[in-house]
Structure 1
Amino acid sequence: MPHGEAEENAAHNYLWPEAAESAARHRGQLLVTVLPREESVREAAILQVKLVCAACRQRGALGVYANGTVYQLEFYLNAAQPMEDGAAPAGSGVDGPLPPGRGPVRLH
């Protein structure tokens, strides 16, 4: 991420003291976006989180940047665990549209 954005936002994670130092080592990024078309916003959000979890398991992955902070891989994977029970993952930071005039929805 350009201009030190990863390091700056990693410093917001008080649960991971080494976040900024770890983020400084990054050499690339992967953007993951899922747009709900025929499926519901919830299903699109779950798919996005599953894709991010798959990326977290790749060699060289350092963290997940969402909601203005950088999360430790293990933290994100643990937060996504409820999906296996069919529940929406807490803390996934997925935004999605509501019907016109209703504003955005954010799953946390």
Structure 2
Amino acid sequence: MTQKQEFTIEDVRKIAQLSNLSLTEAELEKYAVMFTQTLDHINVLEELNTENVTETYQVNNLTNIFYDKENTTTLSQTEALANASDTKDGLFVTTGVFENGNA
């Protein structure tokens, strides 16, 4: 039997910070319980005897599947940037995602 692992509120707080999410204290408590329950379900799999089970990499028995696609006309760089609100050196300019520097 595996040792029970529990998510703490601080664990959830750190995950929320890294995900740039604002959570209330009630949500932090709720997710700590839910994450712990998820780990409990995953730990059940560790108890299964898989000694005689053949490894499987994919289950559809598909081999050499390729998508035959003809080249089609695409936008030029000028056309792609035509409606952009801001560009620099031929590229789109966007606002930063990480404001607090914890990237």
**TM-score interval for Structure 1 and Structure 2 normalised by the shorter chain:** under 0.3
TM-score, normalised with respect to structure 2 = 0.25
